[in-house]
Amino acid sequence: MVRLPLPQRFISSKSTTPIQQSRNPSPLRSPMESTLTLKVNVIKGRDLAAKDRGGTSDPYLVVSLGSARESTPTISKTLNPDWNVTFELPPKWYTLESKRRRGKKKESIVSGQILIQFSLVDTANLGANPADTYRKFRSIVCAAEEEDDAALDSVDQDENDKDEETSDETDDP
Within a domain: 156: no
Does residue 147 surpass a pLDDT of 50? yes
The model's pLDDT over 124-146, given as tens digits with 9 standing for 90+, comes to 999 999 999 989 888 887 877 77
- Dump pLDDT digits (tens) for 94-108: 565 656 666 665 556
CA separation for the pair 23, 160 (Å, rounded): 41
Q: Is residue 18 part of a domain?
A: yes
Whether 42 is in a domain gets the answer yes
Residues ≥6 apart with Cβ < 8 Å to 4: 70, 71, 72, 73, 85
Task: Give the per-residue pLDDT at 11.
Answer: 47
Number of domains in the chain: 1
**Cα–Cα distance, 103 to 107 (Å, whole number):** 8
- pLDDT above 90 covers a percentage of the chain that reads 28
What per-residue confidence (pLDDT) applies to 19? Answer: 42
**pLDDT above 80: residue 23:** no
Query: The CATH number of the domain where 63 resides is what?
Result: 2.60.40
Residue 116 lies in a domain: yes
In a domain, 131, yes or no: no
Under the banding of pLDDT at 50, 70 and 90, the label for residue 10 is: very low
At residue 116, the pLDDT reads 76
Is 98 within the bounds of a domain? Answer: no
Mean predicted confidence (pLDDT) in 17-45: 62
Is pLDDT above 80 for 114?
Answer: no
Q: What is the pLDDT of residue 64?
A: 85
State which amino acid sits at residue 145.
E
- What are 53-69's pLDDT values in tens digits? 999 999 999 988 878 89
Residue 141 domain-assigned (yes or no): no
Which of the 8 DSSP states describes residue 104?
A: -
**Pairing outcome for strands 82-89 and 36-46:** antiparallel
Domain that holds residue 71: 8-93+108-124
Model pLDDT, residue 97:
60
